Structure 1
Amino acid sequence: MKSEDEIKKAFQGGDDDGDDTLSVSEAVNAVEKLTGRSLDTSTIESACKSCDVDTSKEMDYDEFVSVVRHLENNNEL
């Protein structure tokens, strides 16, 4: 399981536009920075749906943590 610090660094590294939120595509990049693995957009979108994260808007840090933990718990990371 990734540490809170690792997740925070990945979130910040994935935030290309510096608005403290991640789009789905930015979240894909952040997860890649976190794990070194590339996940497709549909995997992130599915995790968002499972975590009640609205993909029509950008996710905040807490939502990103929920998505990462969901992916970890389902052995997708």
Structure 2
Amino acid sequence: MTDKCNAVPNVAAGYAGIPRSNWIQRIRTMLALHRTRVDLSQLSDDQLYDIGLTRDDVDAELERPMWDVPSNWRRH
């Protein structure tokens, strides 16, 4: 019989070969993005106009998944 404990990845060592610190940073980035999108949704139409966005732009941004970060946020 196989020991199921050995089948569980060692999170402390990193999941799927990615260090835990990278996962923590990714989670922080996703949370920051979520907060930014919420803040954006609370702007008035006049404020959105001032920064060159429409309510439709904001709605489209809010529909994006939390892990879908802008390309300029990603490290290359």
Q: TM-score, normalised to structure 2's length?
A: 0.27
Q: TM-score, normalised by structure 1?
A: 0.27
Asked which structure has the greater RCO (Cα within 8 Å, sep 6+), the reply is 1
Larger radius of gyration: 2
